[in-house]
Amino acid sequence: MANTNIEPNLVADKRKRISYGSTLLVAGLIIYLLFGLNTQSGVQTTFGLNLSNSQAITVPDFVVPAQPMIYLMSAISVFAGAYQLARGVRSTGTLIGILAFTFVFAFLMWAAQDKSFNLTGMLSSSLVRATPIALAALCGVISERSAVINIGIEGIMLIAAQIAVITATVSHNLYVGLFAAIFIGGLVAALHAYLVIRFKVDQTVSSVAINIFGAGATAFISSRFMQSAGDLLNNSGTFPIISIPLFAKIPVLGPVFFENNLIVYLAIILVVVMHIVMYYTPWGLRTRAVGEHPKAADTLGINVYLTRYVNVIAGGMIAGLGGAYFTIGSVGRFDEAMTAGKGFIGLAAMIFGNWNPIGAYTSSLIFGFADSLQVKLQILRVPIPSEFLLMAPYIVTMIILTGVVGRAIPPAADGQPYEK
């Protein structure tokens, strides 16, 4: 019996060692051939570390020789791949981190050779662009931890975005718009919860219906009423940037983390609060029990239906906050389909983060970085068609889902209706 259990593990470890090691070796070769040989000798790359409108203390820019640094990234990747093939590294996260860092850094060196690239600005933009993705991911986490699938996040965010800007414009108060978005998000999620919990409607069908309704209803209202009314319904303004005293003066980190608007801060606070609630409170324990084994939870006296209702509605409120980001937190007006698939990308971040609040937020930062990077590369005029640059966030989504879906383990009862 012992040999039967050990042998499959040894085979799996060997496959993992070979696959990751080979990937790192190939990545190192690509860095050398694609970036190193196509970088001019003697040129430098300048990474700007200051923002013009920031309160942070000014520091010198980071200037490095482009080609030698690319060769160094290639060597690190090759060495890590060879070490992985020879000895093996247990931490998958370490290997992925080395692969991502060497490839992205080498790419930036090549793209910005003999130019200046504001690194702090891109990191700040990445955090901001990750915010709606993170809020969508948190909505998915809290819903699916109670075993209710909600892929209607995109529709909820669209509806909330429109309600937020209309309410804020009419009331001349951004906070009223924010609360309206959160309320409508919870209301739509409550409808989804009622259908799938009370009537056992297929959870995917109900979610798709919300997405279709959200896209259609917001497009109709926008074209029928908002365009003709102009600024009377669609000019709310946005939340101002809030600088946290002292912390905002920290070089690099200050502009990235401590000079943002209200919704960005609320997203970070929600991650911390959700993690504490999910893993350190009785409610979180009950939620995870309902998601893993609802019958056992019911036997212990946990109200399975109530737990699911509360979590799904709370998730909808979080998605409503994410919807508000697109209008009153970003551009101050509503445009059709402005969420641009961020709700679906949030679900990918949830899976990549293994249904964990902190993991989901960290994954969202990866997607936010990809989104920010494609904008910066267009400014640098890199010799890559703009259509391919616009595809970057979605390509990253497909790569992550392809590599992770098979290994990510959802809650055991996820998507299964419960009959008492």
- Residue 205: domain span: 129-404
DSSP 3-state helix, strand, coil percentages of the chain (rounded to 5)?
70, 5, 25
Q: What's the pLDDT score for residue 302?
A: 96
Question: Per residue in 321-344, pLDDT tens?
Answer: 999 999 999 999 999 999 999 999
Tell me: do 183 and 324 sit in the same domain.
yes
- Is residue 9 pLDDT above 70, yes or no? no
Determine the average pLDDT of the residues in 209-222: 96
| Distances 251 to 108, 376, 404 between C-alpha atoms, Å | 21, 21, 35
Question: Alpha-carbon Rg of the chain, whole angstroms?
Answer: 23
pLDDT over threshold 60, residue 280: yes
Residue 163 in domain: yes
Last residue of a domain, one of 114, 148, 164: 114
pLDDT given for residue 6 in this prediction: 58
110 and 133 in one domain?
no
Which pLDDT value is given to residue 229?
83
**Residue 217 located in a structural domain:** yes
- 262 and 317 assigned to the same domain: yes
Question: Has residue 419 been placed in a domain?
Answer: no
The CATH code of the domain that includes 142 is: 1.10.3470
> What is the pLDDT, as a whole number, of residue 224?
92
Can you give the pLDDT at residue 8? 61
Tell me, yes or no, whether 201 and 240 share the same domain: yes
pLDDT of residue 384: 77
pLDDT bracket for residue 2 (50, 70, 90): very low
Instruction: Show Cβ contacts of residue 90 under 8 Å, excluding neighbours closer than 6 positions.
Output: none
The full DSSP string for 302-360 is --HHHHHHHHHHHHHHHHHHHHHHHIIIIISS--TTTTTTHHHHHHHHHHHTTT-HHHH
For residue 250, is it within any domain? Answer: yes
298 part of a folded domain:
yes
Query: pLDDT value at position 116?
Result: 87
Assess if residue 206 is contained within a domain. yes
CA distance 413 to 59: 52
pLDDT at 121: 92
Whether 145 is in a domain gets the answer yes
Is the same domain home to 208 and 286? yes
Chain mean pLDDT for the chain: 91
- Which pLDDT band, with edges at 50, 70 and 90, does 403 fall under? low
Q: What integer pLDDT is reported at residue 401 of this predicted model?
A: 66
Q: Both 110 and 136 in a single domain?
A: no
The Cα–Cα gap between 392 and 345 comes to 12
Sign of CA dihedral 82, 83, 85, 89: negative
Residue-wise pLDDT for 235-270, tens only, equals: 999 999 999 999 999 999 999 999 999 999 999 999
Domain boundary among 64, 91, 114: 114
Model pLDDT, residue 371? 87
Q: How many domains does the chain have?
A: 2
Per-residue pLDDT for 70 more than 60? Answer: yes
Q: Are residues 152 and 249 in the same domain?
A: yes
355 shares a domain with 242: yes
Residues 108 and 137 in one domain: no
**Co-location of 234 and 297 in the same domain:** yes
Band (pLDDT 50/70/90 cuts) for residue 404 is low
The pLDDT of residue 402 is 65
Is position 417 within any domain?
A: no
Residues 241 and 367 in one domain: yes
Mean pLDDT for 225-231 is: 85
Q: How many angstroms separate the CA atoms of 184 and 56, rounded?
A: 38
| Averaged pLDDT for residues 95-110 | 89
Which pLDDT band, with edges at 50, 70 and 90, does 405 fall under?
very low
pLDDT in tens, 111-149: 898 888 899 999 999 999 999 999 999 999 999 999 999
> Are 80 and 135 in the same domain?
no
